[in-house]
């Protein structure tokens, strides 16, 4: 399929935002799990982890209808898993959104929010076992502290 124009440049898939941690007792976690539970939704999400694409490019790549892909893109966007990163124009001059995975990675914990302390301890032990620097552990603990604040809000 020929690339569409004029996109300012090919957007990249960069996940440099701070990760969010979701526990299964959180409403947002239920939404993420529900959204990714379908085969087509998961295929759309996986394709977008490799390259930003339009709905029509995704449909062609996945051998699915544009309507089906658009439906899943809307759900993935509502769940905060994908986002519009650019726009381009079709050969007919219609503006089209280019989607990519969300900038902010998400960690899903198969436990509840009361498991935070144990999770921090487990990651600390894992980091020590793997020889990850104390700086990395401190960064994780700082991040998880910030996430605790987010989760409690």
DSSP class per residue in the chain: -PPPB--SS-------SPPEEEETTSHHHHHHHHHHTSHHHHHHHHHHHH--B-HHHHHHHHT--HHHHHHHHHHHHHTTSEEEEEEEE-TTS-EEEEEEE-SS-EEEESS-GGGHHHHHHHHHHHHHHHT--HHHHHHHHHHHHHHHHHHH-
* Position 150 confidence tier, pLDDT thresholds 50, 70, 90: very low
Residue 48 in any domain: the answer is yes
Taking the whole predicted model, whether its pTM rises above 0.85 is answered as no
What is the structure's pLDDT at 4? 46
Domain count of the fold of the chain: 2
Q: Does 11 fall in a domain?
A: no
Same domain as 35, residue 85 = yes
Is residue 129 domain-shared with residue 93, that is, in the same domain?
no
28 and 98 share one domain = yes
Question: Domain containing 142: what range?
Answer: 112-152
Question: Is residue 4 in some structural domain?
Answer: no
Q: The domain spanning residue 47 has which CATH number?
A: 1.10.10.10
Indicate whether 38 and 92 sit together in one domain: yes
Residue 141 lies in a domain: yes
4-13: pLDDT as tens digits: 444 444 565 5
Structure confidence by residue, pLDDT tens digits, 46-86: 999 999 999 999 999 999 999 999 999 999 999 999 999 99
């Amino acid at each position: 399929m020929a690339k569409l124009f004029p996109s300012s440049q090919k957007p990249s898939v960069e996940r440099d935002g701070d990760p969010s941690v979701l526990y299964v007792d959180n409403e947002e976690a239920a939404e993420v799990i529900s959204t990714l539970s379908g085969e087509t939704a998961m295929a759309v999400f996986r394709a977008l982890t490799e390259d930003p694409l339009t709905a029509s490019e995704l449909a062609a790549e996945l051998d699915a209808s544009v309507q089906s892909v658009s439906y899943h893109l809307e759900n993935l966007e509502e769940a905060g898993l994908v986002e519009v990163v650019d726009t381009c124009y079709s050969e007919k001059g219609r503006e089209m959104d280019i989607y990519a995975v969300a900038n902010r990675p998400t960690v899903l914990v198969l436990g509840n929010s009361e498991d935070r302390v144990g999770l921090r301890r487990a990651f600390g032990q894992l980091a020590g076992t793997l020889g990850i620097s104390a700086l990395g552990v401190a960064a994780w603990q700082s991040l998880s502290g910030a996430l605790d604040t987010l989760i409690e809000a």
